[in-house]
A and B are shown apart, each in its own frame.
Chain A
Amino acid sequence: MIGVLLVGFAGIGEQDHQSAMYLPAWLAQPDARVVGVVPTGAADRATAQKVAAELDVPIHDDLDAALRHDAVELVSVAAPMDRRVDVVSAALRAGKHVLADKPLAATLDEVEEIAAAQGDSLLVPALHQRLAAPLVSARAALAAGRVGLPWNVQVDFLVAGGTPSPSGELLNLGVYPVDVLHALLGLDAIRVYARRGRYWNDVADDFVTLLIDYANGVTGTIVLGRTASLDGVAPAGLARHRYRISGSHGVLDVDATKPALRVRTLDATSPGPASTSVTTLIAQTCRAVADGGTAPVGIDDARHVHQVVDAANRSLASARPEPVAPGGDAR
């Protein structure tokens, strides 16, 4: 049984990814047991108290003291962005495995700081969309050569409604499709041209187009954003989550909102159950902890995502394509 310490009940802005995403998946996992909770500040203390009471587990105010408990084997981190690098690094330095909310950090430098603290622990950034059932199958189909040599990928990742990210959707929603493409292609991005806009909220940019050149001459395009709420799409649900992978011998068209039921009632429509990719991520993480195996997502994946985001931010400033690796070839 893996003892899990929940640290932080936050996300980006107003979100609480611990309660909304990770806690239900931990509770559904027969190999794991929540052994304590730690709030990261005044903002999430009430939530931490409520969760501690519901689960009948202790609440700790001192993170370092909580990390010293032998019962804690893994730390589920959903700390606010300004605390995330410190919390994740402290847990790793204490020798604990970590499942960390995405994005792993606010900057590439912070990702490197976390990498330096990792030691022998598992660090699993919650880039869970790559584990959505249709995308796992897509990856297997590509590996089986069913489209031949891939040369282009087109992606739409549109969320309808929900809480906008105050720091923009590139670092929030954008990390998912960037990571999925990395996983599907098995190739590093080398050059990025990015454009963005703000259309559906007053907070920050909510629409981004990423035009990415990958190794081996593969091109990829990601259209991502958070639109207004749409009829028939659950709040913060994916209105469009599609990947079209073109290869030398075929085309794979993936609608990653499948498998989903389409439900229509007298007064509402619903896409039905969403993807269970978070549950899959946590199940595979537990297996890796138990077996000493490899995590389904790791620090190298998070580093690559942040390198792409970093290049995209430079491109937004320069209005030109920018190299992904510092000092790399922009052509």
Chain B
Amino acid sequence: MFRIGAETISRMSTVGILVVGAGFIADAHIRAITGESRAELAGVVDVDPGRARAFAYANGNARYGTELAEALTWPDVDAVIVCTPNHTHVPIALQVAAAGKHLLVEKPLATTVAGARQVVDAFAAANLVVAAAHTHRSYDYGLAVRSMIDSGAIGDPVAARLSILGGWIWPDWRAWVLDPDRSGGHSLHNGVHLLDLVTWWLRDAPVRVYARGRNQTAGELRIYDYLEMTVEYARGGTAVCEMSRAHRPGSFGYRDLLIAGTAGVIEQGWDGESSLLFTEQGLQTVPSAGGDGFARQLAAWLDSLDGAPPRMSPADAVQAVALGVASELSIARGEPVELAEVLGDQVVPA
């Protein structure tokens, strides 16, 4: 069965997907669509006509344009994947909901809690699916850790450490990501990946965030290239998350995780998924092919269009935004911030 808007009909064809925003991350979504028999590219929209055309040509002469409103009326568009800068997510999402299309939007869902709630409410009212692309929940390591925790092997998980450090995090130091007015700041842009993932692993409600940020590479930076975000949970657990583009050398690629439970420990070191390559240029890692997180994410999203439970609920997407907002606020204040403060009195929709 396949839901279109409020209706449920038998699936007769593949899901036609409109990609909005033809930048770097759109390529990853396109690769996922290419490998997914249930989906096909129905068109691409970008404010830059040249980029829209180039993207369309590169992807089978897909239909392309610069106007979202028009593109939402194209035939075969059943659902939308949004890959635009973060500050545009809310207005675009509301437009997609009004057009009756399902949505997978790059993280963060929004740069404010109010914006995130507005999006979730609009899709709920239209009986449409909305998901934020927290891809790390679909990577091998993210799933393996959660699955190990679910198995009960380490008892009750009480503490987590997750560090993602590397030069690949942004190649272009002039990119919109480094403009806090457009990205919402680094906690919202990349920090939310870690904040959501550790919260999903620990299976507990976050209550407080204490974060420290640095403009490590240059004082002129307007976002923190190094973030350390500590989350405290309702049952007393703690998670320390580091997200960094500040580490040197720029060739550094480092992900490290530790989860301590009442009955055991899970660890994956920086080279835990990689082979080591020693060359004249020094030591490099060769990451294992592993599962494609974007493909898994797309598959889970398509499943949810068919009525399956989502891999990440809209409420969790709002919570991730709240954690990111709390992190930025905590850095500015130099003090811990209660999540209740950034969530206000409103209860996150289930």
- Residues of chain A having any CB pair with chain B under 8 Å: 148, 151-152, 154, 156, 158, 193, 195, 197, 199-200, 207, 209, 211, 213, 217, 219, 221, 223, 225, 227-228, 230, 239-240, 244, 246-251, 253, 319-321, 331
Contact = CB atoms under 8 A, between A and B. Distances in A.
Contacts of B242: 154
Contacts of B265: 158, 227, 230, 239-240
Given A228-B263, A250-B249, A253-B270, A197 B230 contact: no
15 contacts: A148-B248, A152-B226, A154-B242, A195-B232, A195-B238, A197-B158, A197-B159, A197-B238, A207-B238, A211-B212, A219-B212, A219-B214, A223-B161, A240-B267, A246-B244
B248 A221 contact: no
Contact of B335 (A221, A225, A228, A321): A321
A223 B258 CA distance: 11
A123 B306 CA distance: 72
Contacts of A321: 210, 334-336
Given A199-B262, A223-B161, A223-B240, A151 B230 contact: no
A250 B248 contact: yes
B87 interface: no
Contacts of A152: 214, 226, 228
Interface string B260-280: 101111010010000000000
B66 interface: no
Given A152-B226, A154-B163, A331-B334, A225 B260 contact: yes
Given A152-B226, A227-B265, A321-B334, A197 B236 contact: yes
Nearest to B263: A228
Interface in B205-234: 208, 210, 212, 214, 216, 226, 228, 230, 232
A331 B260 CA distance: 31
A240 B208 CA distance: 26
A250 B282 CA distance: 14
Contacts of A249: 248-249
A240 B159 contact: no
B252 interface: yes
Contacts of A223: 159, 161, 240, 258
Contacts of B214: 151-152, 217, 219
Given A156-B161, A156-B258, A240-B258, A251 B212 contact: no
Contacts, number: 92
B237 interface: yes
B262 A193 contact: no
Contact of B336 (A154, A219, A320): A320
Interface residues of B, number: 37
Contacts of B249: 249-250
Nearest to A231: B264
10 nearest A-B pairs in the assembled complex, by CB-CB distance: A197-B236, A199-B158, A209-B238, A199-B262, A219-B212, A195-B238, A331-B334, A249-B248, A193-B210, A246-B247
B259 to A, nearest CB: 11
Interface string B237-256: 11010101011110010100
A36 to B, nearest CB: 43
A228 B262 contact: yes
A181 to B, nearest CB: 15
B240 A248 contact: no
Nearest to A156: B258
A246 B238 CA distance: 23
B347 to A, nearest CB: 24
B258 A251 contact: no
Given A193-B210, A207-B159, A221-B228, A227 B238 contact: no
Contacts of B270: 253
A248 B260 CA distance: 31
Contacts of A320: 335-336
A197 to B, nearest CB: 5
Given A193-B336, A225-B260, A211 B248 contact: no
Contact of A219 (B158, B228, B232): B228
Contact of B264 (A230, A247, A250): A230
Contact of B248 (A239, A251, A319): A251
B230 A211 contact: yes
Interface in B74-115: none
Of A148, A199, A213, A228, most buried by chain B (CB within 10 Å of CB) is A199
A219 B244 CA distance: 14
A158 B248 contact: no
A115 B116 CA distance: 58
Given A152-B226, A251-B252, A319 B161 contact: no
Interface in B281-310: none
Nearest to A195: B238
B336 A209 contact: no
A250 B252 CA distance: 9
Given A219-B228, A239-B265, A319-B208, 12 more contacts: A151-B226, A152-B226, A209-B230, A209-B240, A211-B210, A223-B258, A240-B258, A246-B246, A249-B248, A319-B336, A320-B336, A321-B210
A247 B216 CA distance: 10
Nearest to B213: A219
Interface string B124-147: 000000000000000000000000
Interface in B326-350: 334-336
A79 to B, nearest CB: 32
Contacts of B246: 151, 246
A197 B212 contact: no
A310 B242 CA distance: 26
Nearest to A160: B265
Nearest to B160: A223
A227 B260 contact: yes
A244 B270 CA distance: 12
Contacts of B247: 246, 251
A319 B161 CA distance: 21
Contacts of A200: 262
Kindly name the residue among A195, A244, A250, A253 whose own CB sees the greatest number of chain B CB atoms within 10 A. Answer: A195
Contacts of B236: 197
Nearest to B334: A331
